[in-house]
Amino acid sequence: MRILKLLLCLLPLCVCSCREDEYVTYMTDEDTGAESQASGFAGLYILNEGNMGSNRCTLDYLDLSGVDSTIHYYRNIYAERNPSTVKELGDVGNDIGIYGTRLWIVVNCSNKVEVCEAATTRRIGQVNIANGRYLAFDGGFAYVSSYAGPVQVDENCPLGRVYKVDTLTLQKVDSVVVGYQPEEMAIVDGRLYVANSGGYRVPLYDNRLTVIDLATFRVVKEIEVDVNLHRLLADRHGQLWVSSRGNYFDVPPALYCLKDDQVVKRLEIPISSMTIVGDSLYYIGTTFSYADGGYKKDFGIVDVALQRCSVAVLFTAPEIQNITLPYGIIVNPRDRDFYLLDAKNYVSSGELLHFDADGHFLWRVSTGDIPSRGAFVLKN
Amino acid sequence: MKPLMRIVLLILLGSFKLWNYSMAQDSVRIIDNVTITSKIRYHETITPQTLKGNDLEKVNAHSVADALRYMSGVQLKDYGGIGGLKTVNLRSLGSQHVGIYYDGIELGNAQNGVIDLGQFSLDNIEEVSVYQGQRSAILQTASDFANAGSVYIKTTKHLGNRSTSQRGNKSTSQRDKKSTGHQENKPSKNHYLKTRIQTGASNLLRLSAFYETYINKNVLLSANAMFLSTNGKYRFNYRRRNHDGSIAYDTTATRQNGDVQSLRAEVNLYGELTEGHWQAKAYTFHSNRGIPGAIVNNVWRRGERQGDNNTFVQGSWQKDLTDRYTLRILGKYARYQTHYLNRDTTQLVVDNTYRQLEAYLSAVNVVEIRPWWSLSCSYDLRWNHLGANQPLFAYPTRWSNLASLASAMDLGKVQLQGSIVYSHHRDRTRTSSHCPTSSNWTPALFVSYRPFDCLQLTGFAKKSFRMPTFNDLYYTNFGSAFLRPESAIQYDLGMRLTGGAGSGRFSSPSRPARSSAPSRPTRSSGVSGKAKLGFNDNTGLAGSLEAHLYHNSVHDKIVAYPKGQQFRWTMLNLGRVHIDGIDVQAFGAWQALQELSFSARLQYTYQRARDVTDKTSSYYGDQIPYTPWHSGSVTLMADYGAWDFAYNFVYTGERYCQQENIAYNHLQPWYTSDLHLSWRHTFSRFAAKWTLEANNIFDQQYDVIINYPMPGRNFNLTMLCEF
């Protein structure tokens, strides 16, 4: 019995702590230390993808309202503001957009588009769209590209679809079949352009832009550009800028400019994220190098009017060179100060770095896992 | 610190007292079957942790993976349910560093280096042992010397149950005979049949049959088969509270797509030679199961499936060719086919078949230079090939050559074993002319010192490494052919106190003993194999305590690293981990009355596993994911006549699910309590045993891996018949 008693003596060593009830995840408040300045924006939402299967898509919010004396960054706000949403925001956030007073979030692996009030982040509802990718808005409708479409005969790979969703009722009103694995969309002259990647069909990547007439919501034509199309933006001259990721083998990544549905320019730059403000297309690109396990990082600006790279002195700050994995660029459309998103190693906190319009580093904060996209909220 | 010191002191004193008891008595000492032999070639310098026979039954384990929860220094990753993937790593070195041995020959998986231990059900398993470092015997293959840690799975052998190491060792056999008499009944019984039926939660049905017979005087045939069917459904709950205590959400759902249908069949032949023995095995396993997948927002059901068709044949032959020279030859041929299927067109549609082939040949030579000094030289040749039905697949082939040189010395109180392994690996692929090769020298030294009979001090230092797997190297758009092997360095200091007559190994009350019925063969997981510990005559007490202190480091750890592209990961030699830990195991038994006995087993692990890869990272110095600081288990057992009762408690402390030790990654501790009750009765022709198991009796809702919920309270009923 003595031994038994002794063994029982060891028990407290073993049971170091007990399980408690699980509580709703609360946000963390990070003070950037930077002085608040009056701007036209109430804030900036940052969407963090979260690694697949981790259910860690989170939403952060940068408060630009000027209510506090310094700028605060609120990390992981969704669960606190919507505590009754089972399993929080979801798995792998892919795109974020604001239309009117509403915030739209495409949560890829949760097969849904989440719709919230932009001012409060309170949930309004969701649209179930399987494997959704990106958003575009026009005329009271949201357009959502999705990998999930009909499977063709003799092929395991389904074509993609674009859904048309009423932004008030959150009902899917129509859908149209497009190319393989559609990604970003852009709207020019009543037409919706969809970049098809074909990413599930390696090595047979898709190379087309699908053109949809918004009035009839039917495909009117397809334009062949290059393999594995991804990013797509329209500029103020009615031109389209579409990025090709290449095939990671012998076709290099590139950026194409289209005018009147014709390719008018090809620039051999790798694009992983881009945004247009005025005539400037800001881009970042990363090319992985097996040799040293590092990345070749590209930052630059393309003048969309001249269709050529500008001399970029904007990205020379040492903080930019020290970014582990540049994953997104967000530019303030008014003041042109910009933010860079560092995804680090995908499974730890990312970073948001802020620079003024001249490229001087201002401050940095920790974000959720894999920060990828942002959306500015206008002051009402 | 003070109370802790006192407890440790108490234990030490208590154990010494026990030792005094045992020394004072002139009782018959029971010799452990495996560890104590006269020939050094069969020695193990450091004894492993072992669970076997009746003890293995009492831990309510469905599979080998469940049983390993009761071993210290083992971290189990469990994706939930019977069909969920279950892998282990030893002392935080990573699953690929662990060698899993099935009846003496390593189970390979060159594709991803991980063996799913959930696939090995326990109905034909007699013994599971965990060796930290390596098995410190001398008569073993080069691969036994090469792994950073090993799990040995030994299948049941009921008739003629003499362990390998006993052979050629007459003195031990005779002493064993004296104390147990169990070998005398060998001729009296020529057939043995055991059938088992288990049913329980999740529509579980497990049928198994085990048959043994002597073909002739020297050859024993054993055959067993198992069929398992379950729908894998169980209820789980996710609940969150607001900080004011009110419920934010409370959702109960049913785990879907975890169904399993599997079939295993195995045939063994055991032959005896003069001064030797041989064994041959054919094994086949077929399963079709759902992959339950992660539970995330808006997704409560998934459609991925996996089919396995694994078949292998293996054999070994061993003979003392002269009085001083033993030769052992082993061979294996295996074919593993895995089929992944995802017909869900909203996802990436997957219909992939992978086919792995493995051939293995090993020769072990042991020479006894002096009775106290032997030398071994082993050579292993292994060939692996992986094929698949995918475009751009690399079709890798690997030739592995391992040679080991080892020496063991028994200087009375001091025992030493040193080994060095040279390994050479060469890969070839269809897609690339680059043939990665690697060669490594890895040394190991094991020391044991017994100042007294009851106390053993041990220590080892070892370097080992693991090769990058085929997936690490050649996975399309993912692998990196420039990976170096990942290496591990281990240092361990241990001590072991034993008291009472059961001074064998730590967890083995089912050893043959005087008090067991002499007419029954022992060391069986069957009904009649219920043997009792050899207790000290006066007090009826026995116990042991073992503790290890260790420091490990992992270099060039192979980690998935983002590529910043569509298929976004690649593998890099990036990680560096420092691990410090303490393993403690204790066992105590008390024979209160002739019919009544109690025993208790405890194991505890403390581990600090720090990521020291990159000083600038936000997780520098943090505990690596899914490694608790504290974990342990307690088993309390009571046997009264035909009744057996056991209570099992498993505890895993707080840990983090990602590299950064921040609140968002924090996982709460989990602990489960399981009960086990069995009753035996014997009819004229056969014996039967009924077992009722209640698992997770407090219905704790927990995830071992985040978003993979585990089953709540559940029950199983088993009936076992022996003829």
Tell me, letter by letter, the H, E, C secondary structure of B224-255.
Answer: EEEEEEECCCCEEEEEEECCCCCEEEEEEEEC
In sequence order, the 6+-apart residues with CB closer than 8 A to the CB of B246 are: none
The per-residue pLDDT for range B91-138, each reduced to its tens digit, is 988 888 999 999 999 998 888 888 889 889 888 999 999 999 988 888
Residue A99 pairs in a beta bridge with A102
User: How far are the Cα atoms of A70, A72, A73, B261, B598 from residue A33, in angstroms, in the given order?
Assistant: 6, 8, 10, 60, 64
Q: Which residue has the tokens 């037409």?
A: A191
**C-beta of residue B386 within 8 angstroms of C-beta of residue B366:** no
Q: Are the beta carbons of B602 and A107 separated by less than 8 Å?
A: no
DSSP designation for B55: H
In sequence order, the 6+-apart residues with CB closer than 8 A to the CB of A284 are: A271, A272, A273, A274, A297, A298, A299, A326, A327, A328, A329, A340
Q: Tell me the C-alpha distance between B197 and B209, whole Å.
A: 9
**C-beta of residue B720 within 8 angstroms of C-beta of residue B526:** yes
Compute how many other C-beta atoms are within 10 angstroms of the C-beta atom of residue B526: 25
pLDDT of residue A4: 55
pLDDT of residue B195: 94
CA distance A337 to chain B (A): 24
B600 to chain A: nearest residue by CA? A4
Q: Which of A33-42, A172-181, B274-283, B625-634 has the lowest mean pLDDT?
A: A33-42
Q: Are the beta carbons of B240 and A83 separated by less than 8 Å?
A: yes
Q: Which of A104-108, A269-273, B108-112, B502-506 has the lowest mean pLDDT?
A: B502-506
**C-beta of residue A70 within 8 angstroms of C-beta of residue A104:** no
What residues 243-282 of chain B have any CB closer than 8 A to a CB of chain A? Answer: 243, 248-249, 251
Residue A349 pairs in a beta bridge with A369
Q: Are the beta carbons of A2 and B14 separated by less than 8 Å?
A: yes
Between chain A and chain B, the number of residue pairs with CB atoms below 8 A apart is: 224
pLDDT of residue B9: 41
The per-residue pLDDT for range B641-686, each reduced to its tens digit, is 999 999 999 999 999 999 999 999 999 999 999 999 999 998 878 8
Q: Tell me the C-alpha distance between B148 and B490, whole Å.
A: 8
Residue A5 has phi, psi (to 5 degrees) of -60, -40
What the block records as the tokens of B78 is: 């469990």
Q: Which of A314-318, B21-25, B602-606 has the lowest mean pLDDT?
A: B21-25
In sequence order, the 6+-apart residues with CB closer than 8 A to the CB of B429 are: B394, B395, B396, B397, B435, B474, B481
A88 to chain B: nearest residue by CA? B297
Nearest CA to B115 among B143, B151, B72, B81?
A: B151
A-chain CB neighbours of B239 within 8 Å are 21-22
C-alpha angle B78/B199/B702, rounded to 5°? 30
The per-residue pLDDT for range B167-211, each reduced to its tens digit, is 333 333 333 333 333 443 444 578 899 999 999 999 999 999 999
Question: Is residue A270 helix, strand or coil?
Answer: coil
- Beta-strand pair B350-370/B325-342: antiparallel
Question: Is residue B662 helix, strand or coil?
Answer: coil
The per-residue pLDDT for range B420-439, each reduced to its tens digit, is 999 999 999 887 777 778 89
Nearest CA to B703 among B398, B420, B296, B406?
A: B296
Cα A89 from chain centroid? 15
Does residue B364 carry a pLDDT above 60?
yes
- Beta-strand pair A208-213/A141-146: unpaired
B-chain CB neighbours of A366 within 8 Å are 618
Longest alpha-carbon distance in chain B:
78
Q: Tell me the C-alpha distance between A178 and A196, whole Å.
A: 8
DSSP string, B182-197: GGGGTTT--EEEEEEE
pLDDT of residue B314: 96
**C-beta of residue B659 within 8 angstroms of C-beta of residue A348:** yes
Residue B630, chain A, CB below 8 Å: the answer is: yes
Q: Are the beta carbons of A22 and B349 separated by less than 8 Å?
A: no
pTM of the model: 0.87
* One-letter amino acid for residue A12 of the chain: P
B-chain CB neighbours of A89 within 8 Å are 297
A-chain CB neighbours of B617 within 8 Å are 344-345, 348
Q: Tell me the C-alpha distance between B313 and B309, whole Å.
A: 14
Does residue A312 carry a pLDDT above 80?
no
A-chain CB neighbours of B586 within 8 Å are 3, 6-7, 10
A-chain CB neighbours of B700 within 8 Å are 19
Q: Are the beta carbons of B664 and A20 separated by less than 8 Å?
A: no
CA distance A23 to chain B (A): 5
Residue B170 has phi, psi (to 5 degrees) of -70, -35
pLDDT of residue B534: 43
**C-beta of residue B579 within 8 angstroms of C-beta of residue B609:** yes
CA distance A40 to chain B (A): 32
Residue B458 has phi, psi (to 5 degrees) of -130, 160
CA distance B414 to chain A (A): 28
**C-beta of residue A359 within 8 angstroms of C-beta of residue A81:** no
Report the residue of B240, B389, B670 to disrupt the A interface, i.e. the one with the largest count of A CBs within 10 Å.
B240
Q: Tell me the C-alpha distance between B638 and B604, whole Å.
A: 21
B592 to chain A: nearest residue by CA? A1
Report the residue of B296, B392, B661 to disrupt the A interface, i.e. the one with the largest count of A CBs within 10 Å.
B296
Cα A51 from chain centroid? 13
CA distance B169 to chain A (A): 34
Does residue B239 carry a pLDDT above 90?
yes
**C-beta of residue A343 within 8 angstroms of C-beta of residue A356:** no
Compute how many other C-beta atoms are within 10 angstroms of the C-beta atom of residue A13: 17
Q: Tell me the C-alpha distance between B214 and A311, whole Å.
A: 87
The per-residue pLDDT for range B607-649, each reduced to its tens digit, is 999 999 989 999 999 999 999 999 999 999 999 999 999 999 9
Does residue A91 carry a pLDDT above 50?
yes
pLDDT of residue B351: 85
- Beta-strand pair B49-52/B125-132: antiparallel
Q: Tell me the C-alpha distance between A281 and A274, whole Å.
A: 7
Q: Are the beta carbons of B658 and A343 separated by less than 8 Å?
A: no
Containing B173, the helix (H) or strand (E) segment is helix B170-180
Nearest CA to B562 among A370, A357, A318, A217?
A: A370
* Omega prior to B187 cis, within 30 of 0: no
Residue B602 pairs in a beta bridge with B586, B634
User: How far are the Cα atoms of A95, A156, A224, A258, B33 from residue A235, in angstroms, in the given order?
Assistant: 20, 36, 20, 10, 82
Question: Is residue A245 helix, strand or coil?
Answer: coil
Q: Are the beta carbons of B298 and A128 separated by less than 8 Å?
A: yes
Residue B575, chain A, CB below 8 Å: the answer is: no
The fraction of chain B above a pLDDT of 70, given in percent, is 83
In sequence order, the 6+-apart residues with CB closer than 8 A to the CB of A151 are: A157, A158, A159, B345, B349
Cα B516 from chain centroid? 28
Report the residue of A345, A346, A367 to disrupt the B interface, i.e. the one with the largest count of B CBs within 10 Å.
A345
Q: Are the beta carbons of A157 and B349 separated by less than 8 Å?
A: yes
Q: Tell me the C-alpha distance between B141 and B465, whole Å.
A: 16
CA distance B615 to chain A (A): 14
Q: Tell me the C-alpha distance between B680 and B691, whole Å.
A: 9
Instruction: Report the pLDDT averaged over residues B216-241.
Output: 94
Residue B700, chain A, CB below 8 Å: the answer is: yes
A-chain CB neighbours of B296 within 8 Å are 53, 55, 87, 90-91, 109-110
* Domains along chain A with CATH numbers: 129-268 (2.130.10.10)
Report the residue of A86, A204, A244, A340 to disrupt the B interface, i.e. the one with the largest count of B CBs within 10 Å.
A86
DSSP string, B498-520: EEES--S-TT-TTS--TTS-TTS
* One-letter amino acid for residue B710 of the chain: M
